[in-house]
């Protein structure tokens, strides 16, 4: 905790909607009569008392321990925030346990009402865990938790519906994976652009985060559809669970990664003054993402055809699987290397406003969106807290005497 300081307002740090916010109550509202718990007290029913340097707000003596009263809010140094067991890992572990319990009950009862529970948990768990991990790693960003969650949901609902309609109207064949890639990436890009409107600044890392939210929302709902289709094909629980495990394992390497790449380049272009160069760069990145998407979807057929061409007989199936896995690894490596490069070049440069904001967030001086915490004490309050009333009176009399002597 910080040492005793001099602040004229009561600042309360909280977590709300994924964002660290601060609340300030005027010192006039924080009187000793209603906010004066014993210094040794730590908790009251429904109220958490936290050590704080806010002396003037509560009116204790200059040497006493000050307290900030927090109603159902989490402080910045709460174990929930700074835990060694990060939030995304806690979320993922809890989700896996819930999924295993749901599967066990479904197998024991064969109650098909539980099938949607198994599908939703299994398909949304990994994308949401990745989003929590990425959001926690982005310290200084104008993106609020509400905007990221809304992009996740809209990327799934609006993106997948738009892609389905476009493919229904214009897709020449379901095996034409290039057209599938063009249409689906265009649908996700449209959702991403919609959520990028109105931001105060456009940084590469913010674009990666928002694009990943749109892509992972799309991937979660698409995986739900594949899982449901696998289950209804023969009403096989084995097909359902196999599809969910496979889609969950490959979720970090698909839609979220591709749309994150596109979002990073898009935000870099929006923040650039070279409009033509930025437009060409976005178009080239879109072509790259479509190529990765189309190759990923068609890789199974390409691998099997290559194995048959090489072997002409025995061992074709095993070789095809090996080529499929190897090709998936190559595509994933290209995508991860691209997004890693964008993340590095998107780091705030030393001395820039973004770098100063990130350092301030790391030190706890402001929230993620740049709102400073309650450190707004005036020079008069600082002086009054450091000097006794008699000393202040002596200083005032000395200044008046000096002014009188100068005028005389």
More confident residue, 105 or 396: 105
List, in order, residues 6 or more apart from 366 with CB less than 8 Å away. 357, 360, 372, 373
More confident residue, 90 or 314: 90
Place of tokens 């809209």: 154
List, in order, residues 6 or more apart from 51 with CB less than 8 Å away. 1, 65, 66, 67
For 226-283, the pLDDT digits (tens) are 999 999 988 889 999 999 999 999 999 999 999 999 999 999 998 888 889 999 999 9
Most confident listed range (7-21, 55-69, 290-304, 353-367): 290-304
Average pLDDT, the chain: 74
List, in order, residues 6 or more apart from 349 with CB less than 8 Å away. 355
Q: What is the pTM of this model?
A: 0.67
Closest alpha carbon to 376 in 366, 390, 368: 366
The structural domains of the chain, with segments of one domain joined by +, span 1-82, 87-347
Phi, psi of 14 (to 5 degrees): -140, 170
Q: Write down the pLDDT at residue 306.
A: 87
Please give the structure tokens belonging to residue 47. 């109220």
For 118-162, the pLDDT digits (tens) are 999 999 999 999 999 888 877 667 788 889 999 999 888 998 999
How confident is the model over 356-385, as a mean pLDDT?
Answer: 47
Place of tokens 């600044």: 201
For 68-93, the pLDDT digits (tens) are 333 333 333 333 444 578 899 999 99
pLDDT score of 381 more than 50: no
CA-angle at 112, arms to 109 and 117, nearest 5°: 100
């Amino acid at each position: 905790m910080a040492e005793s300081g001099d602040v004229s307002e009561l600042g309360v740090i909280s977590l709300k909607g994924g964002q660290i916010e601060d609340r300030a109550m005027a010192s006039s509202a924080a009187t000793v009569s209603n906010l004066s718990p014993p210094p040794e007290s730590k908790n009251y029913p429904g109220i958490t008392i936290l050590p704080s340097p806010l002396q003037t707000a509560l009116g204790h003596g200059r040497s006493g321990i000050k307290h900030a009263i927090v109603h159902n809010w989490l402080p910045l140094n709460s174990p929930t925030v700074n835990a060694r067991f990060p939030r995304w890992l806690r979320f993922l572990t809890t989700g896996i346990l819930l999924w295993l319990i749901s599967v066990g009950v479904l197998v024991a009862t064969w109650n098909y009402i539980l099938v949607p529970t198994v599908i939703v948990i299994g398909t949304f768990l990994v994308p949401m865990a990745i989003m929590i991990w990425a959001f926690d790693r982005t310290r200084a960003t104008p993106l609020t938790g509400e905007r990221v969650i809304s992009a996740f949901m809209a990327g799934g609902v609006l993106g997948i519906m738009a892609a389905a309609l476009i493919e229904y109207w214009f897709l020449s064949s379901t095996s034409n994976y290039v057209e599938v890639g063009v249409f689906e990436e265009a649908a996700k890009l449209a959702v991403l652009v919609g959520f990028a409107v109105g931001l105060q600044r456009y940084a590469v890392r913010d674009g990666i985060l928002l694009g990943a939210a749109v892509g992972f929302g799309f991937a979660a709902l698409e995986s739900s559809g594949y899982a449901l289709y696998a289950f209804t094909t023969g009403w096989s629980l084995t097909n359902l669970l196999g599809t969910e495990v496979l889609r969950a394992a490959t979720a970090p390497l698909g839609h979220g990664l591709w749309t994150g790449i596109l979002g990073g380049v898009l935000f870099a272009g929006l923040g650039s003054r070279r409009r033509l160069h930025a437009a060409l760069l976005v178009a080239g990145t879109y072509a790259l993402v479509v190529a990765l998407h189309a190759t990923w979807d068609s890789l199974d057929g390409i691998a099997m055809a290559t194995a048959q061409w090489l072997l002409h007989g025995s061992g074709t199936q095993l070789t095809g699987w090996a080529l499929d896995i190897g090709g998936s690894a190559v595509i994933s490596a290209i995508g991860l290397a691209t997004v890693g490069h964008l993340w590095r070049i998107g780091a705030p440069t030393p001395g820039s406003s973004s770098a100063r904001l990130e350092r301030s967030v790391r030190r706890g001086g402001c929230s993620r969106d740049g709102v400073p915490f309650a450190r707004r004490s005036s020079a008069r309050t600082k002086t009054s807290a450091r000097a006794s009333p008699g000393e202040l009176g002596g200083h005032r009399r000395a200044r008046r005497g000096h002014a009188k002597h100068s005028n005389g």
